[in-house]
């Protein structure tokens, strides 16, 4: 009997597919890439058409030997990596390692992990698409050139240990520019004036807002002007000058793309982009349902809103069955893609809409269920009829003033049948009765004017940053989450609640890179490069030309920047404290975990201690200053300056506001949805904060010590890494039968 080998990327996927196929199929996982550019050198020959030098990834030797042995026993090897450029490149590397002909029909592709999809793919194997491989290689080589050429420049001009990225730097600049807009924003005061009116004595009341005066837009800028308008309206006679009633439809939203899934999961489930993609990957690769396994959603990296004909037909059938014929439109709903969409895959949808969320809940984790329900609801709703509203608008004359009253009533819920209560409540508007033009109205009362201030643009969140990158054509569905993760890991961006804010280091690096490499590290060029990669994948452009067009100006900019940017590091800033060990001045330095104090006598003296950032609020326990600190993972918390004498610590920011119950200090907590709430700092008070739900660790004196010793922790981590590497080398020599070298003891 013939033996066939199928190689996928993950063990979960291999387990799911194994259950679909017979005993003559073996399914193994490559665990992602097996070859890559070397870490120790550039690995790209810029003199000879940018030829990459690939090596087997360290630590994957045993896996490579296992796959080679399996391939040698198989009559046929199928490469079934993910259906995108990265997956195509992994298949190409696998073909090289296993000695397969990449022009032979060794590649299979499926967009959902179901029995039918996998078996159908096996009937239509193809050769490896070298155009897609070239596009992936081009991105990888450009990112390597930028990272390995720019990072040393940052080491020389800013500080050691920094790294640069072509797209990540643009993302940091976007966030930094928004932060600057917020800092420079000057709020403007304005007032709104409303009146409560009715048609006759017992008729229902409704609100109308003053919008014009003498035919011009009414602008009320202070309390005095507001009081004058209120006085005029109290004396005015009211009459309906125009009345309109119309039916308004609200169409369903399209099925999810990667971008919209990440945004909606952030808004509704409070998931980060990383968490969303991790859970979506689990649903795609497959879950155990009773005695079988199946992937529950289609491939989750896509920019298309298209659904297959089979998916549309089954969804429409389900809608009619569950909700009735009036909820299923006469023709299928069709949605247009964005102008720069590749449309290589379908939208993200359930592999079978017959698997309802309630039926799948017993087989899913809580996170998996919530995300699956979000995808299922969106897919089914996309093929339902529009929601309909009856909208009423009244234009009311009141002397020199004109007022507007607008309201609507939902007459048919349509696709909103699947909306949750929170979404339905957001849809509700005040009811306004339809009153014929010319009708005289009775004034019930003029409401006190409401003071407002114009607000600055909101800080970027992960959701809004993904939306911005998609609008500007920066990155692709598979890169949004890694970009956001990378800029936070590097310390260029900090996350507080849902807000993303550029750190001082991030602003410095972004300004330097965009200032000296503005022709390459900017939004238009990043979008242009994505289009170039698309053209390479479509076999319209040669990768060598794209690489040459990039590298020549980049090399010139690199030489210019190295010459222009000052080589001398900025003078050390004194912290105002003396070293307890040697008496020399302490200076402010910046490390991986932020700023800290270090002895100016380094390297003779290695004393370091944290730089306390005071927030101007007294400690609830002892009255000392509260300081803002960070754990070694970068998360902000608050502690007393007198630690360890005073052990006050809190995730929530202390304020000077008194508790309305007991009078003690209130703590400010930013919820996951961005809302701010205040709780008493005394845990015994009835107004105390409820316990946080989730996996967050409790703040303890130990966590405070982690932040206190951030620099030491960094050194310890490096030491552990060196020991681990040395241990691995020793283990390797033992495995190969050689004795490890033993250093002679000194006499």
3-state secondary structure of 231: helix
Tokens of 432: 């306004």
CB 316 within 8 A of CB 332: yes
Q: Which residue has the tokens 């169409």?
A: 251
The set of residues, in sequence order, having a beta carbon less than 8 Å from that of 500 and lying 6+ positions away, is 175, 459, 460, 461, 462, 465, 484, 488, 493, 494
3-state secondary structure of 69: helix
The set of residues, in sequence order, having a beta carbon less than 8 Å from that of 590 and lying 6+ positions away, is 159, 505, 596
DSSP codes of every residue in 647-699? --EESSEEEEEEPTTT-SEEEEEE-TTS-EEEEES-TTSTTBPPPPPSSPPPP
Could you report how far apart the first and last alpha carbons of the chain are, in Å?
68
Q: What is the Cα–Cα distance from 595 to 724, expressed in whole angstroms? A: 28
For 418-462, where are the E strands, in sequence order? Answer: 440-446, 450-453
CB 129 within 8 A of CB 106: no
- What's the alpha-carbon Rg for the chain, to the nearest Å? 32
Q: What is the Cα–Cα distance from 223 to 193, expressed in whole angstroms? A: 11
Tokens of 427: 């849809």
Tokens of 136: 């992936």
Whether 299 is a known active-site residue: answer: yes
Distances in Å between the alpha carbon of 711 and those of 68, 74, 401? 45, 53, 66
Give the distance, in angstroms, between the CA of residue 502 and the centroid of all CA atoms in the same chain: 15
Locate all alpha helices (DSSP H) within 61-165, ordered by sequence.
Answer: 61-73, 85-98, 115-123, 130-157
Q: What is the Cα–Cα distance from 708 to 696, expressed in whole angstroms? A: 20
Parallel, antiparallel or unpaired: strands 194-198 and 440-446: antiparallel
Q: Which residue has the tokens 């003029």?
A: 446
CB 651 within 8 A of CB 631: no
Q: What is the Cα–Cα distance from 398 to 195, expressed in whole angstroms? A: 11
Angle, helix 504-516 to helix 166-184, in steps of 10 degrees: 110
Catalytic residue (choose from 238, 284, 299, 327): 299
Q: What is the Cα–Cα distance from 175 to 487, expressed in whole angstroms? A: 11
Give the distance, in angstroms, between the CA of residue 99 and the centroid of all CA atoms in the same chain: 39
Locate all alpha helices (DSSP H) within 473-565, ordered by sequence.
Answer: 480-489, 504-516, 523-537, 543-564
Q: Which residue has the tokens 């409820």?
A: 690
Q: Classify each residue of 25-64 as buried b or exposed e, where b means 16 or more C-beta atoms within 10 Å of its C-beta.
A: bbbbbbeebbbbbeeeebbbeeeeebebebeebeebeebb
Omega of the bond prior to 131 within 30 degrees of 0, cis? no
Q: What is the Cα–Cα distance from 483 to 485, expressed in whole angstroms? A: 5
CB 111 within 8 A of CB 299: yes
What does the chain come to in residues? 747
Which residues are the active-site residues?
Answer: 299
């Amino acid at each position: 009997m013939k033996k066939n080998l199928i190689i996928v990327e993950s063990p979960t996927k291999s387990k799911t597919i194994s259950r679909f196929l017979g005993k003559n199929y073996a399914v193994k996982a490559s665990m992602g890439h097996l070859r890559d550019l070397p870490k120790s050198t550039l690995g790209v020959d810029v003199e000879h058409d940018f030829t990459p030098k690939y090596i087997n990834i360290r630590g994957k030797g045993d896996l490579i030997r296992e796959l080679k042995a399996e391939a040698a026993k198989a009559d046929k090897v199928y490469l079934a990596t993910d259906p995108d450029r990265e997956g195509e490149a992994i298949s190409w590397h696998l073909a090289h390692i296993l000695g397969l002909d990449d022009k032979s029909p060794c590649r299979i592709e499926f967009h959902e992990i179901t029995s039918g999809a996998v078996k159908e793919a096996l009937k239509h194997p193809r050769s490896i698409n070298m155009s897609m491989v070239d596009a992936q290689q081009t991105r990888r080589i450009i990112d390597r050139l930028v990272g390995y050429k720019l990072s040393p420049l940052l080491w020389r001009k800013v500080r050691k240990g920094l790294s640069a990225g072509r797209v990540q730097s643009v993302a940091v600049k976007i966030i930094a520019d928004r932060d600057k807009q917020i800092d420079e924003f000057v709020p403007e005061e304005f007032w709104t004036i409303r009146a409560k009116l009715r048609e006759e004595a017992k008729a229902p009341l409704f609100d109308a807002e003053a919008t014009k005066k003498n035919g011009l837009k009414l602008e009320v800028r202070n309390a005095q002007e507001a009081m004058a308008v209120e006085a005029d309206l109290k004396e005015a006679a009211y009459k309906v000058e125009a009345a309109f009633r119309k039916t308004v439809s609200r169409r369903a939203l399209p099925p999810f793309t990667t971008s919209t899934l990440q945004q909606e999961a952030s808004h509704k489930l409070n998931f980060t982009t990383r968490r969303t993609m991790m859970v979506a990957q689990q649903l795609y690769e497959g879950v155990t349902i009773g005695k079988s396994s199946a992937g529950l959603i289609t491939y989750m990296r896509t920019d298309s809103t298209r659904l297959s004909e089979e998916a549309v037909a089954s969804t429409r059938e389900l809608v009619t069955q569950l909700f009735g014929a009036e909820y299923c439109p006469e023709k299928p709903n069709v949605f247009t893609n964005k102008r720069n969409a590749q449309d290589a895959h379908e939208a993200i949808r359930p592999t079978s809409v017959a698997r309802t969320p309630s039926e799948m809940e017993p087989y899913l984790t809580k996170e998996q269920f919530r995300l699956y329900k979000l995808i299922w609801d969106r897919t089914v709703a996309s093929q339902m009829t529009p929601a309909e509203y009856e909208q009423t608008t009244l234009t009311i004359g009141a002397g020199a003033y004109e007022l507007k009253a607008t309201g609507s009533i939902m007459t048919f819920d349509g696709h909103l049948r699947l909306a949750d209560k929170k979404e339905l409540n957001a849809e509700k508007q005040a009811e306004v009765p339809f009153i014929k033009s010319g009708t005289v109205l009775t004034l019930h009362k003029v409401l006190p004017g409401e003071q407002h201030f114009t607000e600055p643009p909101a800080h970027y969140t992960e959701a809004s940053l993904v939306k911005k990158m998609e609008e500007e054509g920066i990155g692709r569905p598979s890169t949004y989450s890694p970009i956001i993760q990378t800029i936070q890991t590097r310390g260029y961006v900090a996350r507080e609640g849902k807000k993303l804010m550029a750190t001082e280091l991030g602003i410095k690096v972004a300004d330097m890179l965009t200032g000296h490499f503005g022709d390459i590290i900017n939004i238009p060029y990043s979008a242009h490069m994505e289009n170039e990669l698309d053209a390479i994948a479509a076999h319209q452009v040669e990768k060598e030309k794209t690489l040459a067009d990039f590298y020549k100006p980049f090399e010139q900019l690199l030489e210019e920047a190295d010459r222009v940017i000052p080589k001398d590091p900025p003078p050390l800033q004194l912290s105002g404290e003396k070293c307890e060990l040697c008496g020399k001045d302490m200076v402010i330095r910046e490390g991986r975990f932020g700023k800290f104090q270090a002895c100016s006598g380094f390297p003779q003296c290695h004393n370091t201690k944290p730089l306390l950032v005071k927030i101007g609020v007294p400690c609830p326990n002892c009255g000392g200053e509260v300081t803002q600190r960070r754990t070694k993972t970068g998360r902000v918390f608050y502690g007393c300056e007198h630690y360890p004498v005073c052990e006050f610590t809190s995730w929530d920011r202390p304020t000077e506001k008194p508790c309305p119950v007991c009078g003690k200090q209130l703590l400010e907590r930013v919820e996951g949805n961005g809302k701010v709430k205040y709780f008493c700092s005394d845990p015994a008070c009835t107004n105390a904060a409820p316990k946080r739900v989730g996996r967050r660790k409790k703040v303890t004196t130990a966590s405070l010590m982690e932040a206190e010793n951030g620099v030491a922790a960094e050194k310890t981590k490096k030491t552990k890494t060196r020991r681990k590497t040395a241990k691995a080398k020793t283990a390797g020599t033992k495995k190969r039968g050689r004795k490890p070298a033993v250093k002679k003891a000194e006499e």
